[in-house]
Amino acid sequence: MQLSEKALAISPSLTLKITAMAKEMKARGLDVVGFGAGEPDFDTPQHIKDAAVEAIRIGMTKYTPASGTLELKKAVCANLKRNHGLSYEPNQIVISNGAKHSLFNTFQAIVNPGDEVLVIAPYWLTYPELVKMAGGVPVYVEAKESNNFEPLAADIEAAVTERTKAIIVNNPSNPCGCIYSQKTLGDIAEIAQKHDFFIVSDEIYGELVYDGNKHLSIANLSDDAYARTILVNGLSKTYAMTGWRIGYTASTPEIAKIMGSYQSHATSNPCSVAQFAGVEALMGPQDEIRKMREEFNERRKLMVKLVNAIDGLSCVTPMGAFYVMMNISKLKGRRLEGKEIKGSVDFAEKLLEKKLTAVIPGAAFGADDFVRLSYAVSRENIEKGIKRIAEFVAMLD
Ligand code: PMP
């Protein structure tokens, strides 16, 4: 029988192969250092866990409104106001099962078959697949390492067509770790206004910025940018709550209504207990967040220093999130035991096999000259893993 063409068009995750290999090796008792993690290694703060226990105790265990509880929507609004000076009303907020689900809803709400969505490369590998799931076509705009992985206005403009429906702005970026300057955000907002398309702003790493930088939401730039932005965020990264599955969108009441209806038939509400705890996360004390950020910052500096000390490898200093894009282009074409390292997949596979260190090949993000290293791991493991990478490079002919 014929299966769904739309479903068949979805690519399997390239990262899974390496992650599965690393897991299997760990299970065999091997001492694998994993730089693949896309989640904080910290535990969820205790006061948030306590709130979840309280939710269960008082019976917050039933269906909630499909698009989320009013309390959590209000907490999201308060948070957007406090952190960004952005004004939203609860009817503009939709709470979903993680930011990934929020993004899924977003594309379902705005994309018609054949519509194009601009994706800035290197990109988070889920974006193109989410666009395709909605019947859209991802169109790539390359952002160069030499420009700190920020896209150039001329390159964005050149990719715009009659069918352009939206641009995805992931700021701070996974996998690049860059944060966009006000100039770049302004250029994007201007092009979106000129050609009248949506801005999908994924700000999931917005609280994880370093060196005294402050996260700037593109929705903050002008009334027009605010009106055409669907802002996506969630609790996973900021509050070390990846497993709780709470994400949200802030958009126009019209779009929020469409997404709410869509969600009401697809999944109903996100977990009632997690929503209750989410209010505590957003409205409770924020000191743990600061502590996590400080620790990430130390790890970031350590990793950047160690990577740049290895001959043949380099990285620009990331300003946000918890990833380092390690440039391996100088090693392409070198050989290991007679076999050529052709690109990031060969590099990642051989590094894991020979030195028990897992990294994510940049090919997964549309950037074969790089591998991604997560610093959501202990400083001790950063030292150990980067030392192994240096030993691996020394093995190449
Ligand atoms: N956006 C980006 C850029 C991400 O890296 C992730 C998590 N890897 C998400 C969204 C999704 O986060 P979640 O669904 O856990 O909220």
CATH number of the domain encompassing residue 107: 3.40.640.10
Domain contains 39: no
CA-CA-CA-CA torsion sign (280, 283, 288, 292): positive
**Distance from the first to the final alpha carbon of the chain:** 50
Task: Name the domain count of the chain.
Answer: 2
Backbone angles phi, psi at 53, to 5 degrees: -65, -45
Do 155 and 274 lie in one domain? The reply is yes
Question: Considering the chain, what percentage of its residues have pLDDT values greater than 70?
Answer: 100
What is the 237 CA–ligand 1 centroid distance (Å)? 8
Do 253 and 107 lie in one domain? The reply is yes
Residue nearest to atom 3 of ligand 1 (CA): 174
- Residue 338: exposure state from Cβ atoms within 10 A (0-12, 13-18, ≥19): exposed
Residue nearest to atom 8 of ligand 1 (CA): 38
Domain contains 78: yes
For 116-162, how does the pLDDT look when each residue is reduced to its tens digit (9 = 90+)?
999 999 999 999 999 999 999 999 999 999 999 999 999 999 999 99
Distance separating alpha carbons of residues 231 and 77, to the nearest angstrom: 12
- C-beta of residue 175 within 8 angstroms of C-beta of residue 126: no
Residue nearest to atom 7 of ligand 1 (CA): 38
Last residue of a domain, one of 262, 283, 304: 283
Do 72 and 181 lie in one domain? The reply is yes
What is the 244 CA–ligand 1 centroid distance (Å)? 12
Last residue of a domain, one of 283, 313, 342: 283
Do 9 and 55 lie in one domain? The reply is no
Position in ligand 1 atom list of the atom nearest CA 242: 15
**Which residues are near ligand 1 (CB < 6 Å)?**
38, 98-100, 124, 170, 174, 202, 204, 234, 236, 242, 247
- What pLDDT does 65 receive? 98
Its domain, for residue 297, covers 5-30+288-395
pLDDT of 17 > 90? The answer is no
Give the pLDDT band of residue 18 (cuts 50, 70, 90): confident
Distance separating alpha carbons of residues 170 and 200, to the nearest angstrom: 8
Q: What is the number of alpha carbons within 13 Å of residue 321 lying toward its C-beta?
A: 27
Domain contains 36: no
Residues 6+ apart with CB under 8 A from 290: none
Q: How far is CA 130 from the centre of its chain?
A: 13
pLDDT of 185 > 80? The answer is yes
Domain contains 41: no
What is the 340 CA–ligand 1 centroid distance (Å)? 34
Domain contains 196: yes
Domain contains 25: yes
Do 277 and 292 lie in one domain? The reply is no
Do 217 and 321 lie in one domain? The reply is no
Do 93 and 11 lie in one domain? The reply is no
Do 19 and 58 lie in one domain? The reply is no
For 347-381, how does the pLDDT look when each residue is reduced to its tens digit (9 = 90+)?
999 999 999 999 999 999 999 999 999 999 999 99
Residues 203-227: what's their mean pLDDT? 96
Last residue of a domain, one of 264, 283, 302: 283
Q: What is the number of alpha carbons within 13 Å of residue 239 lying toward its C-beta?
A: 27
Position in ligand 1 atom list of the atom nearest CA 174: 3
Domain contains 37: no
Domain contains 124: yes
Position in ligand 1 atom list of the atom nearest CA 97: 14
Distance separating alpha carbons of residues 69 and 47, to the nearest angstrom: 20
Residues 173-199: what's their mean pLDDT? 98
CATH number of the domain encompassing residue 22: 3.90.1150.10
What is the 100 CA–ligand 1 centroid distance (Å)? 6
The ipTM estimated for the assembled molecules is 0.99
Do 113 and 126 lie in one domain? The reply is yes
Residues 6+ apart with CB under 8 A from 134: 107, 108, 110, 111
Backbone angles phi, psi at 347, to 5 degrees: -60, -50
What is the 58 CA–ligand 1 centroid distance (Å)? 30
- What pLDDT does 37 receive? 83
What is the 101 CA–ligand 1 centroid distance (Å)? 9
